[in-house]
Amino acid sequence: MEIIICDDDTKLLSKVKQLCESVCGDDDNVTAYSDTRKLLECLFTEHPQVDLFILDIEMPELDGIELKKHIAGIYMDTNILFLTSHREMMEEAFGKNVIGFVPKEHFEERLFQYVYEVKEDLRKEDMIEVCINGEMKQFSKSRIVKIQSQHIYSVMTLGQFYNKDRHTLETKEEMYRISLGKWMDILQDDTFYKVGRTFIVNLKYVRRITDNIVLETGEELVIPVRRRAEVKKTYNEYCLKMARILY
């Protein structure tokens, strides 16, 4: 597991690093930065894969919220955890990849739990196997953006990489003769939500919900009027679950 910590408070930074190292094993790596600009210079080039970022929300020059936007533009699959003493900033800080907020006061127990859970989640297999036309095909659930019904077929949209210039997720599509109901049975994951008979959406790729679902790809999915309240309620519950704000 690769962990990056960024906090301008060097004493706290050292404590957080020690705690993370106590959870990690010999094959894991924990890197600490006290300068956000230095971290930005090293992103991707020195850290091509990061499993967990632990960020202070309020930092000089570039705060954690701005840093989060850069991280989301570079890494498709990562986790961001905020250390904060500012509850009023949590709403703005929440978003894609953010898994929670930990108060700086007495942070040890909660932070330990988060790091442990991320490590355990990484051990679980993300791949699923599906028999298609007599052949077994593997899918990474975390890459599935949406699955849309098209007659007797379904079209799966898979995330490829983030285009930093366009600020959007680049994707590819694959078509299979499998119904949406069958896909839900295969996925067995409450991150995926079936909207009527039309499509399944991976809630982690939802940018926002108005009268429609706006995805990280920039695409808008039309929500039937009678389903709007239900869809918004489901997404709000998902956000609360992922944030796990415990004070």
DSSP string, 35-96: -HHHHHHHBTTTBS--SEEEEESS-SSS-HHHHHHHHHHH-SS-EEEEEES-GGGHHHH--T
Q: What is the mean pLDDT of the chain?
A: 85
In contact, 56 and 6? CB cutoff 8 Å: yes
| DSSP H or E stretch at residue 104 | none
Contact 105, 77 (CB under 8 A): no
pLDDT (0 to 100) of residue 134: 85
Residue 124: what pLDDT?
65
Counting Cβ atoms within 10 Å, is residue 165 exposed (0-12), middle (13-18) or buried (19+)?
exposed
Q: 69-79: per-residue pLDDT in tens?
A: 888 888 877 99
Is residue 155 predicted with pLDDT exceeding 60?
yes
3-class SS of residue 149:
strand
Convert 198-210 to b/e letters by CB count within 10 Å (16 or more is b).
bbbbbbbbbbebe
Q: How far apart are CA 181 and CA 217, in angstroms?
A: 24
Q: Which of 105, 128, 99, 132 is nearest to 15 (CA)?
A: 105
Q: Supply the pLDDT for residue 146.
A: 96
Instruction: Using a pLDDT cut of 70, give the percent of the chain over it.
Output: 89
- Res 30: pLDDT: 94
Average pLDDT over residues 184-205: 91
Helix 108-123, helix 10-23: angle, nearest 10: 40
Q: Which of 5, 4, 8 is nearest to 59 (CA)?
A: 8
Q: What is the pTM of this model?
A: 0.56
**79-99 per-position pLDDT tens digit:** 999 888 766 555 555 666 888
What pLDDT score was predicted for residue 111? 92
Rounded Cα distance, 77 and 138, in Å? 18
Instruction: Give dist(CA 210, CA 124) in Å, integer.
Output: 34
Q: What are the pLDDT digits (tens) for 219-228?
A: 999 999 999 9
What pLDDT is recorded for position 247?
37
